[in-house]
Chains A and B, each alone.
Chain A
């Protein structure tokens, strides 16, 4: 299977005023590396407010103006410039946003899904396509004429998913698609992603919902204090978690109610207070001395990746 998206060492920082006119560079994402292939679902799992959504915005080139993006984002092997992103967004790569707030409150659903058209024929063709996909997702003709505020939670979710599929995308980036939904709707939404996978579409699922991630994803990237600390296979999240590599991932797995409910002391370092060494140093059970001041790189272990000195050769 071909690689679709490659995100290498991406960092995103904001210029922030601290006191008076003193500026500082606030890093929200320090080092993020991941890749997605065709027909694969990769989940990026991180706590709420950790800046995961910025990854999606970076891929689409819609970061706020004061954000500073470094690192490489490539699509099908070609590094994307801002212009490239503007060119392919909404075509090859599409976004499934968080909530109905991402729809224009004053525009009818159908008009939004179709987008801007240059001619009447184009409009008709797109309209037919839109109707077909909406029908597929169980959205009747009356939905076309509705305004976003009239949609129920489940309908809104289906509208956002079907809007994304209108352009026959190769890659779908879903930003927190499940919070605030009832059990049935979550299940339904996750099934949509499974179907996309079956159609050969790559899905990047950005979420804080570990159950959702475990249910649909092939691989799971763990996001901690602005770093990807591990990219694990779904199968690793079984048993005692003995196949998981990073101590944080292990702790996270053991914290689940079904696996012992063990809490690790401490909290994730906030943006701006991340230590020089390993971001997990303070809480780690198997830390070395070097972890305090030296920051581990992401090690490539075949189909997995981990950011920990323990797995370095000869360690």
Chain B
């Protein structure tokens, strides 16, 4: 009973915070877009050749370009409440539909690489910590330091050069083969184009989780309870599994959830380089081509996505650990 009440209270607090966060994100986005040189009318007419000033004026009033920022924002908010995010200028489709389609593609990419990097990173970290100061540990550490300091886009370019251009194992980009109708695209076509971006994103994500797991495991291995377990006769891999992994797993999972924001940032770069048609690429095109409604929509949904990651991390931290779960009433 108490536990459920606590969870509800906790979630209630989180929702209030989330609403406050959203308000600030929207405010900031509007102010930034207003200050930026983005002008949907200019983009729109760029493709139309010569357009008379009268027509520009009509278009400007149609899109409300010259209205004050407050009016723009309130109009937009009023529509949002009806789940109307407007129409994307570049895709000529409702923003919500565009986001839905792009987000699914991105989610597959992000989640697969998230799981991949989490599992591999955790295992590498455990091995490195267990074999501390051996050649294995040093190799893993060097690998992590290099990746940690290498920019994502550079790694992506390198992979693209090696695996797609020189070796020709994977196509250089795009979600599906060019010139194929969507109903003719096979699962393999799609998977083939997913693998390289996914591996790139995983490889980049592994470093932080590995180093964290390694450090945490070494901490645990120096702890009093680990020492006592040894003194009771437990040893070797069993000891690591029983007392090491148990104590490292939860913080590591928490960290991995907190990494959602980095994952999203990484996905934007990787999608751009592999021209993978996901949300990241859509965000960049929306920005470059002044698609304000799409850009705003993506900002909102990205914020929700990252916030969810952090929320899960918080819930895990506060309700899975028995010390906190069965402990004092006040969990903060």
Give me the interface of A with B, judged by CB distance under 8 Å. Answer: 57, 60, 62, 64, 86, 89-91, 94-95, 97-99, 101-107, 112, 115-116, 147, 149-150, 163, 167
Q: Do residues B234 and A95 form an inter-chain contact, with CB atoms below 8 A?
A: no
Q: Do residues B233 and A102 form an inter-chain contact, with CB atoms below 8 A?
A: no
Q: How far is the CA of A107 from the CA of B250 in the complex (A)?
A: 13
Residues in A with CB closer than 8 Å to B242 are 104, 107, 116
Q: Do residues A106 and B247 form an inter-chain contact, with CB atoms below 8 A?
A: yes
A102 and B228 in contact, given A91-B233, A107-B246 (Cβ under 8 angstroms): yes
Q: How far is the CA of A107 from the CA of B225 in the complex (A)?
A: 11
Q: Do residues B227 and A116 form an inter-chain contact, with CB atoms below 8 A?
A: no
Residue from B222, B234, B247 in contact with A115 in the complex, judged by beta carbons closer than 8 Å = B234
Interface assignment of B179: CB less than 8 Å from any CB of chain A? no
Q: What is the chain A residue whose CB lies nearest that of B242?
A: A116
Q: Do residues B233 and A90 form an inter-chain contact, with CB atoms below 8 A?
A: yes
Residues in A with CB closer than 8 Å to B230 are 60, 62, 89
List, sorted by A's number, 18 A–B pairs whose CB atoms are closer than 8 Å. A62-B230, A64-B222, A86-B235, A89-B232, A90-B232, A91-B233, A94-B231, A95-B228, A98-B224, A101-B224, A101-B225, A105-B247, A106-B323, A107-B242, A116-B238, A147-B322, A149-B327, A150-B326
Residues in B with CB closer than 8 Å to A102 are 224-225, 227-228
Q: Do residues A103 and B228 form an inter-chain contact, with CB atoms below 8 A?
A: yes
Q: How far is the CA of A163 from the CA of B226 in the complex (A)?
A: 15
Q: Do residues B233 and A97 form an inter-chain contact, with CB atoms below 8 A?
A: no
Interface string of B202-231 (1 = CB under 8 A from A): 000000000000000000001011111111
Q: How far is the CA of A112 from the CA of B323 in the complex (A)?
A: 16
Residues in B with CB closer than 8 Å to A149 are 323, 327
Q: What is the interface residue range for chain B against chain A?
A: 20 to 34
User: Min CB distance, A250 to chain B, in Å?
Assistant: 36
Q: How far is the CA of A95 from the CA of B327 in the complex (A)?
A: 28
A103 and B232 in contact, given A116-B238, A116-B242, A147-B323 (Cβ under 8 angstroms): no
Q: How far is the CA of A101 from the CA of B327 in the complex (A)?
A: 16
Interface assignment of B84: CB less than 8 Å from any CB of chain A? no
Q: What is the chain B residue whose CB lies nearest that of A95?
A: B231
Residues in B with CB closer than 8 Å to A90 are 231-234
Residues in B with CB closer than 8 Å to A99 are 224
Interface assignment of B6: CB less than 8 Å from any CB of chain A? no
Interface assignment of B243: CB less than 8 Å from any CB of chain A? yes
Residues in B with CB closer than 8 Å to A57 are 227
For the complex of A and B, list the 8 residue pairs with the smallest distance between their C-beta atoms, beginning with the closest: A90-B233, A102-B228, A90-B232, A95-B231, A60-B231, A102-B224, A104-B225, A116-B238
Q: How far is the CA of A95 from the CA of B243 in the complex (A)?
A: 18
Q: Known contacts A62-B230, A86-B235, A106-B246; can you find 9 more A-B pairs with CB under 8 A? A: A62-B227, A64-B222, A90-B232, A97-B228, A104-B225, A107-B243, A116-B238, A147-B322, A167-B233
Q: What is the chain A residue whose CB lies nearest that of B226?
A: A104
Q: How far is the CA of A89 from the CA of B239 in the complex (A)?
A: 14
Q: Enumerate B66-82 residues with CB–CB distance to A below 8 Å.
A: none
Interface assignment of B97: CB less than 8 Å from any CB of chain A? no
Q: Do residues A97 and B323 form an inter-chain contact, with CB atoms below 8 A?
A: no
Q: What is the chain B residue whose CB lies nearest that of A63?
A: B227
Q: Do residues B246 and A95 form an inter-chain contact, with CB atoms below 8 A?
A: no
Interface assignment of B321: CB less than 8 Å from any CB of chain A? yes
Q: Do residues A115 and B246 form an inter-chain contact, with CB atoms below 8 A?
A: no
Q: Enumerate B236-284 residues with CB–CB distance to A below 8 Å.
A: 238-239, 242-243, 246-247, 250
Residue from A64, A95, A107 in contact with B232 in the complex, judged by beta carbons closer than 8 Å = A95
User: Min CB distance, B193 to chain A, in Å?
Assistant: 42
Q: How far is the CA of A150 from the CA of B222 in the complex (A)?
A: 23
Residues in A with CB closer than 8 Å to B231 are 60, 62, 89-90, 94-95, 97
Residues in A with CB closer than 8 Å to B226 are 104
Residues in A with CB closer than 8 Å to B239 are 116
Q: How far is the CA of A106 from the CA of B250 in the complex (A)?
A: 10
Residues in A with CB closer than 8 Å to B233 are 89-91, 115, 167
Q: How far is the CA of A242 from the CA of B229 in the complex (A)?
A: 44
Q: Do residues B229 and A104 form an inter-chain contact, with CB atoms below 8 A?
A: yes
User: Min CB distance, B72 to chain A, in Å?
Assistant: 52
Q: How far is the CA of A99 from the CA of B233 in the complex (A)?
A: 19
User: Min CB distance, B134 to chain A, in Å?
Assistant: 12
Q: How far is the CA of A62 from the CA of B222 in the complex (A)?
A: 10
Residues in A with CB closer than 8 Å to B327 are 149
User: Min CB distance, A94 to chain B, in Å?
Assistant: 7
Q: What is the chain B residue whose CB lies nearest that of A108?
A: B322
Residues in A with CB closer than 8 Å to B222 are 64
Q: How far is the CA of A289 from the CA of B162 in the complex (A)?
A: 80
Q: How far is the CA of A163 from the CA of B246 in the complex (A)?
A: 21
User: Min CB distance, B225 to chain A, in Å?
Assistant: 5
Q: Do residues B228 and A106 form an inter-chain contact, with CB atoms below 8 A?
A: no
Residue among A60, A95, A102, A167 facing the most chain B CB atoms (10 A cut-off): A102
User: Min CB distance, B93 to chain A, in Å?
Assistant: 50
Residues in B with CB closer than 8 Å to A91 are 233
Q: How far is the CA of A167 from the CA of B230 in the complex (A)?
A: 14
User: Min CB distance, B331 to chain A, in Å?
Assistant: 15
